[in-house]
Chains A and B, each alone.
Chain A
Amino acid sequence: KAGVTQTPRYLIKTRGQQVTLSCSPISGHRSVSWYQQTPGQGLQFLFEYFSETQRNKGNFPGRFSGRQFSNSRSEMNVSTLELGDSALYLCASSSSGGNIQYFGAGTRLSVL
């Protein structure tokens, strides 16, 4: 089985722009969660989608949004980028009724 795939792997944007990141879960997995990883704040939960519905949400501003498609692929969007949004964005998938989360390799976003 293919693992969790995130695209793109690297992104460079400037302040004020917006960005869309993509995550393809392991085949058959319906839950996709997103996390932000920074040296200062560690791993922080952004949101979780299950069957195209947002099931959980972390404490991030409304500039961070996401969605999930019928094939379970998920995207997250960050609008009006700020320097502090520079981070590694990780997604993780898990099966229905399962707790184990498998992480993708991440998208490293740099905001200049």
Chain B
Amino acid sequence: EDKVVQSPLSLVVHEGDTVTLNCSYEVTNFRSLLWYKQEKKAPTFLFMLTSSGIEKKSGRLSSILDKKELFSILNITATQTGDSAVYLCAVEARREGQNFVFGPGTRLSVLP
């Protein structure tokens, strides 16, 4: 059965700290891995990763994929209170139907 595991499930840090969120997966016919940020509403898209070892960056956020070890990390540097959210990892499988499997998310709280 396909599954996506995220760790930690929750994390509390102070502004300015750097955090690393983890996502590991077991999916048949992997196609891509996506990170979403979810605040008090629907998830918003952050990154899509398809190739190992290529870092994607957007401001203070960056992410990388390891297809050999089947995991991805999401880094946030110099955290701000506005980074407080649930960060979801989803894996896309190359098949019809239930293409996307989501992890439970990591709830990040950034304290001032």
Bound pair (A, B): no
